[in-house]
Structure 1
Amino acid sequence: MLSPSDLIHLPYTRDLTETGIAYALRSLTNTFIRAGSSPYDKLRRIVANVAVELAFRRYLSEQNIPFDVKGATPFTNPDRYDVSLGGRRCDIKSFLISYREQISEMKRNPNVLLKAPALVPSDQNAAEGHLDSDIYLFAFLSSLIAAAQEDLKKAIGAGQPHYLVHVMPDSWARPAAWTPLGALVLKSEAEEGITLELGGQVEAREMRPLEVEVPPRTRVEIQNDFYSLVYIHIKTQPGSRIGIRCSQRNELHLIGALEWGNIWVYGMNVLLTGFLTREEFNRKARPVPEGTRVFQYEKTRTKNLAVPVSELKPLHELLERIKESNQ
């Protein structure tokens, strides 16, 4: 049984979010976004997941605990395994907690986490390629977000970082015909020049960024090697529309001033709870139907399996064994 003293607190630094954003954008073409859901919510969750994984790796290094990183570069699949402990895959299931009330409660009373469910999506658990000896490790990231326009304005006004992205529609990001986009024409209705980063795939489907300066109220033609255009990043909050045209495909896409998502994650604290092997988890787990309210979510988006966090094994026991076996 887990107790509050078994929880491991990790510090959060800005570069964890920066690394998570780079990963999320480069893996965007491989990211499944459910119909009707916000791509920006999904991107923030990926940023958070990557940040937790990197914080965990740093902790292992600081504690002189040997680990391997499998297939960490190039970034391709946001759901793949990276960390290997003692020769076993370590699948980190992390949960982003962004409500102030919950964050305060976790700080004031860590016992609340012990009552939370350690969730694994049923389809992921049943996917091919898993071994019973694989490790499920569960973590919680306390972090504010600034998704709403009002919150974003407050963050910018307070000098907080932000990262605004517009995810392009499938006709641009996943075109049916894999042919060059050709020259792109950009125009901003702003009174000042803006800097954009276009993220797209070249012929070999490698993601590449391209920085573009767009003067005020002037069409600018951009030569590029893109076969798809996946996202556009703007460095400052726009006050007007931006248009992009692909003459080769006779497509025009207009981006309204409010059609940008802030995917910056304002992380505060990472809490590593405990672990179970996949075999142990499956033995203890109970099904959680889609649409169930749990500590982590107002409604679960998919079917899950769950074990109470209190029934996980303390992580320090696993890490000490690995450390001793390598001495």
Structure 2
Amino acid sequence: MSAIYNFNAGPAILPAPVLERAQRELRDYQGRGMSILEMSHRSPEYEAINTEAAERLKRLLGVGEEYHVLFLQGGASMQFAMLPLNFLPPGASADYILTGAWAEKAFEEAGRVGQARVAASTAETGYRNIPLQADLVLDPHAAYVHITSNETIQGVQWHTWPAVGDTPLVADMSSDILSRPLETQRFALIYAGAQKNLGPAGVTIVVIRDDFLRRASSNLPVMLRYATHAKNRSLYNTPPVFAVYMVNLVLAWIDEQGGLAAIAERNRRKAATLYRVIDESSGFYRGYAAPEHRSLMNVTFRLPDETLEKRFVAEATAQGMAGLAGHRSVGGIRASIYNAMGQDGCDALAAFMTDFMRRNG
């Protein structure tokens, strides 16, 4: 099987060394005579994985015992509801900053639970930018402020976190978690579907500060309480054991790359390679996001017409570059270049873009 460059937005590329180790251990995990897929989640082997993954994640994020790491299911979409169920009490409201399709979905779900208000929105620009601090109209009495750190569809990303005073700041970081150093202490809660930067689909990571956790409602079904999972170290019910195992391997791989500072520099170089071609194309390629708010994870752009866009995707696919079609809601081209994508993949795509423009410009 020949290798391809995987630019899919999610489930997305995984580091080759992680896949190779999982392949080696699939049938017989550490000489136990069975696969991790077959072991009890109460076994010492799995409990060690669970603990190690949580500790590795805390170390990479630079936090201590004041934060809990939870391994949950249901994806970020479940968190859209679980968050307000736990932290949006009757009579209160929560602030949502809308920067794209995923922020919209989180806001709409919160509105089904309680009162959610828009503290800022860039919908009028087609979600091409992130609001400035001066654009935010925050309620100082809000239960929390919610942001989406990176929008995979529109390709915009927060590069400076909003100042929200004493209000708890919550973030959906599904598509850029661990892509750069993070001032984690600024956040009361972070959640992320694993299938972009952390591992395969099937597990959702929640990082929650203890003082915020203590505010959570206890008048909920047991499985919907963050406190349940924190108390039981994500082992209240059967967790997605293989997905957590894979997350642990990815976290070890990030450590081996030099941690988040090294990963961030690598990601900046990769993104710059593609944005340079866009900016030097004299308008043949048109970046979707405002330059100052461009995502380092999802490079989105358009060509002169949809016919050329379809040809671009078809020819790129034939040359071993998969997953470049933009989201169906916006069209165009999207190159997702998460942590596991190497510089070689971005170089190959940049060379293809230059050649395609030469032949079709």
TM-score bracket, normalised by the shorter chain, equals: under 0.3
Give TM-score, length-normalised by structure 2.
Answer: 0.25
- TM-score after normalising by structure 1: 0.27
Would you tell me which structure has more helix in proportion to its own residues?
A: 2
Give the number of the structure whose residues are more often strand, by fraction: 1
